[in-house]
Every structure is written in C-alpha cells, then in structure tokens.
Structure 1
C-alpha cells in the first residue's frame, strides 16, 4: 500500500515567506504520506528578469515570484515532486524557469510539466516506491497568455493537447503501475469545472490514467471516482498568500520601513495599480484540499482533508462550512453525467447574464 498526498497551488513567497508558518497538524498529516506532490505556481528568483510577454502588456502583468530562500517551505513540507506546468513558473522569463529547475534539482525535489528544452518539458517523473512504478505527467494550455513553447534549445512548458495526453498515458501505463495526470486548467474563482475539462478528464481516465488532479482555479472543486479512476478538477490553493505589488501588478518584497507605512492601499482583486499596494487573497482562495490517494494491487481509495491559510498566514487543517460541502457534493453528482452537467452550466450562464442586466 502506498499513500500519495496531492495538494493544490503553492506560492511559497509573499507574506508566507515573510511571516507564515505550517501548523503541527498539517506537518503531522504530511508525515503519513509516502509521496507528496504539489503544483509550484511561482518562479524562484530576485525579479531581475521578467516575463517578456506579461511585462509588455500591463493587462497580463500579474507577475509572481519567490525568493530562493522560500524553497524552505517545500522542504519543510517534505514535498517530493512538483508540477511546473502553470502560468506563473515562467514569470521571470525562461531564465527564471531554468533557475527554478536548477534550484529544485539542488534541493532534490523532482519536477515535471516544464523543462530546459522540448525533451525535458515532456518527460514525466517516475518514482519507484516499494517496488511500484508511479508516473506523474503535467500539462499547460497552449492557448493561454504566456505559453512558452519549448524547442530543442529553448526552455518552456509542456502543452496540453488531448491526443498527446492520451498517447502519453497509454505509453507510460505500459511501463508504470500508476499514471497521474496533472493539468493546469479551468476558470478561476468558481467551484464549477469547465465542461470541456470534465469531458477531457473522463477521456484521460478511460485511456488508463489512475487519476486526473487539476489546478489553477484558486477555488476547491469536487473530487469524484469515475470508472476505475479519480477526477479532481482542482484542489484549490494550498499556500497562496497575501503579497505586496507595485505597478502594474508585479510582486514586491518591501523593506521594514516600507512595510511600516500607514495607509497602504489594499485590494482583493487584480487591478493595475499605481503605487505600492497590498494584495489580499479572498477567503475562498485561502482554502485547499489535501487529496490522499491510496494505491494497492487490489484497490484505489481517496481521502480528503481541507486546509486554510488564515489571516496571519498559518497553514492549518480546516473544517469546510456546510454551504461549501453541499455545493461540492451537488456539483460532484452533476459532473458524473456530462449531458446533465452541460445543461446545468448553460442554464447558470443564462441566469447570471439576466441578473447582470437587471442590476
């Protein structure tokens, strides 16, 4: 029996780097896992180089990076493997991605979903644990704002093309006991997965994947068993702290004097700012799910624990409120039947448009 712990997006910088901590209850849970897996949604570095696409367009300029020293957060959690297939790991451009990869290698943290060239970007991580081979694959939508396609010489992200994903799953299923697929996808700040993501997740499971474990939405979405596999379209944020930003929307690490200034503007959204601003994460973005997948020759099981990053940046176990539990339960039921879910989502879109017109 092997216990694998999956968590959502981790940005180890911001206020968590400056003042955060991991509670003993979370540390205790993590010690029980044989393998710990996360999405690293940040580049490591000092901000001297910036994403050339985002820095040239203020509308895309939400740039996130973490000081090298903040890798200690991953080490303290005992993270073994990270997916780099996301829209912030290249925020310090290709040089920042290469630096991040080198820093992970130096700290013996395996990574997948991006690489220093096309070959490395498309390679999985395969871990041999207790005589069992476990494969991890990560993918990023090529149509998003900064896709960073790799080639033979350029670093970049492993792109999500369904045919390619299915082909990879079938290839690695031949040599591995279990194959986990981790796409970065979905619409931010909603508990409803995109219909196409649900369809694609089912096709990936049908191709032989053990589980599809998604990220990006910054909001926890349902986890369901589907046929012989598991679908978790998004585990939400695990560590995504408040942070300081400077124009247009660049992460910034102020000195003590700057931090002590009064009347620093506060925002909960993603505006283009004109001055030093404190970007606070809304409550839904402070919550995540630890998804424990237990694999054995005879069974596949899932267990869930919920977490919260509280207002003073302590990461701890959290009991979801009743409303959220009901939402996730109902949506989880709906996504089992694609046609029904498509109709519900369409009705929801029409209803929201009507409400906007009335207002």
Structure 2
C-alpha cells in the first residue's frame, strides 16, 4: 500500500525534539567548543564516549546528511510538502552559558547544513534549550537560520517577534501558518519570556480560557480561506505517558475556538497517544527524533531511543491520511526501527491511543497508518454547528 499522499492535500513531515547540539555537534564537520557546565559532565565529548561505549564507534567527522540516516529514505518515499521540526538546541558559538541551568545545548553555526540535508523548512524554537547560551546565542540562532533560508516560530528578538508565526507557502496547494508556544512545565525558565524589548521565547502562561482567546485572536487574524494553521506547543514533562484533562481540553479548544488544523505537541522524550478530533490530528507528545542520550541510563520503560516520523495529509483542513514511520536512534543517527522496536511502538501506541478511539495499523512496508474508530471519536463544536 503506497504512502504517497493524494495530489490535492498538503502532506507535512513533523517530529518531536531534534537535538543536534552537545555530543552530536562534536561528530559533525565543525564541532564547537566542547566545554559544558553540567555537574556530571564537563565536556560534550563525554557523550560521544558514552554512545561509543554502548553501541560502537562513530566515525568522525560524519557528513552533514549522516545524522538523518534512514530518515532520508522515508522523506523521499513519502514526499512531504513541508518539513517542520522542533529544534531543541541553540545554533551558536556563544560562550555565555545561561547561569544556573543544568544542561546547555549548542550546535556550531557552521554545522547548520545538517538541517538543509533533510530539506527542513521550519524550525520551532519555543522550547527549553533555545536560550541555553544566552540572548546572544538566541540572536545568533535566529540569524543563522534566517541566512540558511529556514523559517522560525516561537522565539524572537522581542515579544512581537517571538509571537510571530512562520508562513510557509506550498505552490499550487495553499499556505501553512506555524504558531509556536512553550510552557514553564516543560522546563522553560520564567525569565526566558520575550518582552517588549527583550529577546526570548513565546511563553504561554497557562491553559486557561484567556490564553485560548488570545491565541484565537492571533490565528483568526492570520488565517484566510484555504490556509492551514499548525499550533506547536512545548508542554509537560519528559517522562510520562499521561495526558492531563487540561491539555486535552486546550487542544480541543484550539480546534474549536482558534481555527487550528493540527496540534503539534512536544517535550516528552518518548511517543504519546494521538487523537483525531473533528478530522484534525492532535499529537500530544512526539518523542525525540534525535538526541545524544545513548549510554545514559534510566527511564528504559519509555524507550526513548524509539521515535516516529509523522506524515499527516490534510485536504481543505481535514485529515485524509496519516502515515507514520518508526525510527530508532543509534550511533547519533536516525535509523529504521528494528522489528522488535516496531512491535513495541505499535503495542504502545495502540494502548495509549485507545482512549481517543484511534489506533495504528501496519502497512506492507516500513510504515504505519493511523486510523480511527468512528464510534468512539468525540465530536467537536465546529462539527456540531
């Protein structure tokens, strides 16, 4: 069964955290200074050593495409119109580590071609690592991505810039708006909030009605007939399958009230359940597509090494197909998940998706397909009107 989208719809590639800093930066062609300020690790090279002790040697330097591994085949096979990631690292050579923060991620700007190797169109920056190397690091991140022709959303040089969405055009098909927010419960310091003249993150204060109405004013002011709106939110902790009633109600409100067509949630280092609400997908937690955690012990029950590449297709604002590609992090690259990993992902997703009336089915090739049980799907306000 082919995974290619129908011609009329817009197919997106989405993933959770893409962490190209720290250890991964050290194996790329232009590693930055490896010094860290973590109580347990003083050099980013220590994470390379951990990974090699666990899974074998990593030839250095690797080329820019190396980190994507089998993901490049999945991208060619599926042919998404747009490619959107949550880039959870600063792109900077700044030496100004944010004081008092336990972990600092940075990738040298000269390694930015690693994003171009996968044709990334937009980086969400509303997360808890984009200011790890101070406001100068954020400024360099924004400038580096701009010069590379990659759109950004969720952080900026001031409050207005941080709140500004990215507008992505798909010739002959339409436009996609990417709005992005982060929440303190994902580890974002409160003083990272962008201000009228202060660089920072587009921080969402809470999941209340006032926040929802503020978002609705922004999205409805931007959206025109035929446009898609994606709401990308960095929320919640790193290790927990649970989805709070507040998160679920807020996600529904984004669709009902704010005219959002897809909710892209991230922060969890593992995959979480997926909902289809009013023919619109809600990803509550996408997991880490790439990180430098190989060799780090703890939380094994969540299988943070396994992840998903998400390929939703929307036509006139409604989900028409949702292909998913299972992956595994090994040797600081994205690999096709082994059969045992695919089985774990299928079982876990079907357990976590049951509450939403959705499930995943295996296709003939390497991909999965998200489907739903119409008898168990909750209607939304717009469906009832």
The two structures have a TM-score, normalised by structure 2, of 0.71
> Please, which of 93, 105, 110 is the counterpart of residue 151 of structure 2?
110
How many residue pairs end up in the alignment? 298
Specify the alignment match of 2:267 in structure 1: 216
Q: Any gaps of 5 or more consecutive residues in structure 1?
A: 244-265, 271-280, 338-359
Change in Cα spacing, 1:282 to 1:27, as seen in structure 2 (3 Å) is farther
Contact 1:43/1:66 (8 A) holds in 2: yes
Specify the alignment match of 2:297 in structure 1: 268
1:50 counterpart SS class: coil
Cα deviation, residue 325, structure 1: 2.2
2:169 counterpart SS class: strand
Specify the alignment match of 2:347 in structure 1: 326
Q: Any gaps of 5 or more consecutive residues in structure 2?
A: 1-8, 28-57, 205-210, 359-385
Query: Deviation digits for residues 90-114 of structure 1, max 9, x if unmatched?
Result: 1011111111000101111100001
Specify the alignment match of 1:261 in structure 2: none
> Please, which of 100, 103, 107 is the counterpart of residue 66 of structure 1?
107
Taking the TM superposition and a 5 Å limit, the aligned residue runs for 1:222-241 are: 222-241=273-292
Change in Cα spacing, 1:202 to 1:336, as seen in structure 2 (3 Å) is farther
> Please, which of 146, 163, 168 is the counterpart of residue 189 of structure 2?
146
Change in Cα spacing, 1:72 to 1:332, as seen in structure 2 (3 Å) is same
> Please, which of 279, 292, 295 is the counterpart of residue 314 of structure 2?
295
Cα deviation, residue 176, structure 1: 5.7
> Please, which of 70, 85, 92 is the counterpart of residue 25 of structure 1?
70
CA distance in 1, matches of 2:10, 2:345: 30
RMSD of Structure 2 on Structure 1 (CA): 2.5
Contact 2:270/2:302 (8 A) holds in 1: no
Are 2:159 and 1:159 aligned?
no
1:62 counterpart SS class: coil
Cα deviation, residue 231, structure 1: 0.4
Contact 2:17/2:86 (8 A) holds in 1: yes
Are 2:363 and 1:309 aligned?
no
CA distance in 2, matches of 1:303, 1:224: 14
CA distance in 1, matches of 2:80, 2:278: 25
Contact 1:30/1:78 (8 A) holds in 2: no
Specify the alignment match of 1:121 in structure 2: 162
Contact 2:145/2:151 (8 A) holds in 1: yes
